[in-house]
A and B are shown apart, each in its own frame.
Chain A
Amino acid sequence: MSANYNVIGRSVPRIDGPEKVTGAAKYTGDLKFPNMLFGKILTSPHAHARIISIDTSEAEKLPGVKAVITHKDVPTLKYGLSPARWDENIFCSDKVRFVGDKVAAVACLDEDTCYKALKLIKVEFEELPAVLDFLHAMDEGQPLVHEEYERNINTEIHQEFGDVEKALAEAHHVRSDTFVGQRTYQSPIEPHSAISMWEGEKLTIYSSTQSPHYFQHYIAREFGMPMGDVRIIKPYLGGGFGGKLEPTGLEFAGAVLAKLTGRPVRTFYDRAEMFAHNRGRHAQHMEITTGVDKDGKILAVKANFIMDGGAYTSLGIASAYYAGALLPMTYEFDNYQFDMFRVYTNLPACGAQRGHGAPQPKYAFESHLDNVAADLGIDPMDIRIINARRPDTVTPNDFKVNSCKMRECLERARVISDWDEKKKNLPHGRGIGVATGSFVTGAGYPIYRTDLPHAAAFIKVHEDGTAATLYTGSVDLGQGSDTVLCQMAAEAMGYRYEQMKIVAADTEITPLDFGAYASRQTYMSGAAVKQAGEEVRKQVLDMASSMLNLPVDDLDCEDGIVFSKSREGKSLTFQEVARKHFVLKGPLLGKGAYTPPKLGGSFKGAAVGTSPAYSFGAQVGEVSIDKETGEITVVGIWDVHDCGKVINPRLLHGQVHGALYMGMGESVWEEVLFDDKGRIKNAELANYRVLTAMDMPPIQSEVVDSYEPSGPWGVKEIGEGATNPTLGMFSNAIFDAMGVRVNSLPLTYEKVWRALKEKREREAAEKA
Chain B
Amino acid sequence: MYMPDFEYHTPRTLSEACALLAELGEKATVLAGGTDILHKMKVGKLAPEHLVSLKNLDEIREIRHEAGRGIVIGALTNHAAIYNSPLLQERYLSLPMAAHTMASTQICNLGTVGGNIVNGVPSADLPPILIALQATIRLVSASGERSMALEDFFCGAAETVIAPGELLTEITIPDQETTGSTYIKFGLRRSGALAVTGVAVSVCVEGDKLRDARIVLASAAPTVMRATAAEDFLRGRTISDEALAEAGTLAAAASRPRDSIRGSAEYRKNLAEVLTKRALRKAIDEGHV
Contacts and interface: CB of A to CB of B under 8 A. Distances in A.
Interface stretch (B22-30, B114-122, B189-197, B208-216): B189-197
A372 B262 CA distance: 33
Give the interface centre of A628, A685, A691 by most chain B CB atoms within 10 Å: A628
B261 A692 contact: no
Contacts of B271: 629
Nearest to A115: B2
Given A629-B270, A629-B271, A750-B267, A694 B262 contact: no
Contacts of B190: 692, 694-695
A12 interface: no
A673 interface: yes
B72 to A, nearest CB: 32
A687 B188 CA distance: 9
Interface in A608-641: 628-629, 631
A669 B188 contact: yes
B158 to A, nearest CB: 17
Given A115-B2, A669-B188, A692-B191, A753 B270 contact: yes
A430 B3 CA distance: 49
Contacts of A629: 186, 270-271, 274
Interface string A673-684: 100000001100
B147 interface: no
Interface in A692-710: 692-695
Contacts of B267: 750, 753-754
Contacts of A694: 189-191
A691 B186 CA distance: 15
Contacts of A693: 191
Given A112-B3, A750-B263, A692 B194 contact: no
Interface string A737-768: 00000000000111001100000000000000
B185 to A, nearest CB: 12
A121 to B, nearest CB: 14
A270 B1 contact: yes
A629 B235 CA distance: 27
A687 B194 contact: yes
B218 to A, nearest CB: 15
A112 B42 CA distance: 11
Interface in B150-195: 186, 188-194
A631 B187 CA distance: 9
B1 A689 contact: no
Chain B interface helix/strand/loop/mixed: loop
A749 B264 CA distance: 12
Given A628-B274, A673-B261, A753-B267, A686 B194 contact: yes
B135 to A, nearest CB: 26
Nearest to B186: A629
B189 A687 contact: no
Nearest to A665: B189
Contacts of A687: 194, 261-262
A754 B264 CA distance: 11
A132 B208 CA distance: 58
B261 A681 contact: yes
Interface residues of A, number: 25
A672 B188 CA distance: 15
Nearest to A118: B2
A622 to B, nearest CB: 17
A602 to B, nearest CB: 48
Interface string A96-116: 000000000000000010010
Interface string B14-49: 000000000000000000000000000000000000
Nearest to A750: B267
A695 B186 contact: no
Contacts of B274: 628-629
Nearest to A682: B261
A750 B264 contact: yes
Contacts of A669: 188-189
A686 B192 contact: yes
Contacts of A119: 2
A749 B188 contact: yes
Contacts of A749: 188
A750 B1 CA distance: 33
Interface string B247-289: 0000000000000011110010011001000000000000000
A695 B188 CA distance: 10
Given A115-B2, A682-B261, A695 B270 contact: no
- Between A115, A629, A685, A748, the greatest number of chain B beta carbons within 10 A of the residue's beta carbon is seen for A629
A689 B192 CA distance: 9
Interface in A723-737: none
A450 to B, nearest CB: 40
Nearest to A686: B194
Which of B1, B186, B264, B267 has the most chain A CB atoms inside 10 A of its CB?
B267
A673 B270 CA distance: 23
Given A750-B267, A753-B267, A689 B261 contact: no
B192 A692 contact: yes
B43 to A, nearest CB: 8
A689 B189 contact: yes
A15 B271 CA distance: 49
Contacts of B263: 750
A691 B262 contact: no
Contact of B189 (A112, A270, A628, A692): A692
B261 A695 contact: no
A695 B2 contact: no
Contacts of B186: 629, 631
Given A115-B2, A753-B270, A691 B261 contact: no
A753 B270 CA distance: 10
B1 A695 contact: no
Contact of A689 (B2, B193, B264, B270): B193
Nearest to A688: B261
Interface string B74-88: 000000000000000
B194 A691 contact: no
Interface in A254-313: 270
A115 B3 CA distance: 8
Nearest to A40: B2
Contacts of B262: 687
A484 B270 CA distance: 51
Contacts of A673: 261
A757 to B, nearest CB: 8
Interface in A33-73: none
A461 B165 CA distance: 72
24 contacts: A112-B2, A112-B3, A270-B1, A628-B270, A629-B186, A629-B270, A629-B271, A631-B186, A673-B261, A682-B261, A686-B194, A687-B262, A689-B189, A689-B193, A692-B190, A693-B191, A694-B189, A694-B190, A694-B191, A695-B190, A748-B188, A750-B264, A750-B267, A753-B267
Name the 9 nearest CB pairs between A and B, nearest first. A694-B190, A115-B2, A694-B191, A692-B191, A628-B274, A695-B190, A750-B267, A689-B189, A695-B189
Interface of B: 1-3, 186, 188-194, 261-264, 267, 270-271, 274
Given A628-B270, A686-B194, A689-B189, 18 more contacts: A270-B1, A669-B188, A669-B189, A681-B261, A685-B192, A686-B192, A687-B261, A687-B262, A689-B193, A691-B189, A692-B189, A692-B191, A692-B192, A695-B189, A695-B191, A749-B188, A750-B267, A754-B267
